Amino acid sequence: MPENHLYEYAVIRVLPRVEREEFINVGVILFSKRCKYLKCIYHLDENKLRLFSTELDIESLRNHLHVFDQVCSGHPDAGSIALLDLPERFRWLTATRSASIQTSQAHPGFTPDPEGTLQRLFQELVL
């Protein structure tokens, strides 16, 4: 029987108008310290986003979400954040913000397969 590993995940959200506090789930970040796993996946549904606001800069949102990828992978383009260890990077990504891209609170769970769990959560919570 495969060993279960503790993981945490957060949902990535876009708030077209931050002051209204309405959001659209666009991605998921999953972190498992024991598995040395930190990854995010996201998808921008432009039609859905435009229902909330026609003034959104979709390309800017894509660029900002790409930074999530860079931080998760420790890419040098992420700056000093890339030098942090995995738990610190996850905490940085999921810190409370008042920006148009935010994350939910972190939620824990156990899984033998972090990648499979990330894909499942993405299907359930975003698509």
| pLDDT tens digits along 93-117 | 999 988 899 999 999 999 999 999 9
Q: Token digits for 116?
A: 């499979």
* CA pair distance 87, 98, nearest whole angstrom: 22
Type of residue at 98? S
Report the pLDDT value the prediction gives residue 51, as an integer from 0 to 100.
87
CA terminus-to-terminus distance, the chain: 30
| pLDDT over 80 (residue 1) | no
Residue in the block written with tokens 């698509």: 127
Report the pLDDT value the prediction gives residue 59, as an integer from 0 to 100.
94
117 touches 18 (CB < 8 A): no
| pLDDT over 90 (residue 16) | no
